[in-house]
Amino acid sequence: MNKKVEDAINKQINAEIYSAYLYLAMAAYFDSEGLAGFSNWMQIQAQEEMAHSMKFYRWVFERGGKVELEAIDKPNGEYGSSLEVFEEVLKHEQEVTGLINGLYELAIEEKDYAFQSMLKWYIDEQVEEEGNAQQIIDQVKLAGDKGPGLFMLDKEFASRTFVDETQEKAE
């Protein structure tokens, strides 16, 4: 495996694990606010991010590389409102999109066609992640940060379940 690509993927593994850690901190915030459904949504999001990190992890080994794990930064766990949390989610997902785009640029530069192909899944995933965050921001704005609208969203988010979309589907 190309050393530049290997190093970049190892940094991305760290970024994906940090994302999981961040979403777990957000889940804890929602639990402290009595919003178990919002917490569930964030816990599922944390699981998705760990699955994303493991897809990169497996890729490194499949390509003959070495995974090197780094320390994970402490995420923020204090927020002023549900809206603030999801605005932070959108901002974070936009940053991750930038990281994925940077990996794709590196794959092109290094003529790593297999990595380019693999990254297309992540590029599509980031479009979905940003769209979901924006949709929830819009919903929270409509519902308000207190009262029946927020309660209804909390009930809806309680029904979210984890599906590991990184696993290839049998055809």
| Intra-chain end-to-end CA distance of the chain, in Å | 29
Question: What residue has token string 């940053």?
Answer: 95
Give a yes or no: residue 162 inside a domain.
no
Give a yes or no: residue 168 inside a domain.
no
Give a yes or no: residue 165 inside a domain.
no
What φ, ψ does residue 144 adopt, rounded to 5°?
A: 85, 160
Give a yes or no: residue 152 inside a domain.
yes
SS3 content of the chain, % helix, strand, coil (to 5): 75, 0, 25
Give a yes or no: residue 68 inside a domain.
yes
Give a yes or no: residue 11 inside a domain.
yes
Residues 6+ apart with CB under 8 A from 37: 153, 154, 155, 156, 157, 158, 159
Give a yes or no: residue 7 inside a domain.
yes
Report how many domains make up the chain: 1
Cβ 10 vs Cβ 60: under 8 Å: yes
**Structural domain boundaries enclosing 12:** 3-157
Cβ 55 vs Cβ 165: under 8 Å: no
Local confidence pLDDT in tens for the 171 residues of the chain: 899 999 999 999 999 999 999 999 999 999 999 999 999 999 999 999 999 999 999 999 999 999 999 999 999 999 999 999 999 999 999 999 999 999 999 999 999 999 999 999 999 999 999 999 999 999 999 998 888 999 999 999 999 999 888 886 543
**Residue 119 CB-half CA count within 13 A:** 22
pLDDT at 145: 81
The CATH number covering residue 50 comes to: 1.20.1260.10
Concatenated DSSP letters of 58-98: HHHHHTT------PPPPPP---S-HHHHHHHHHHHHHHHHH
Give a yes or no: residue 169 inside a domain.
no
Report the C-alpha gap between 162 and 118 in whole angstroms. Answer: 22
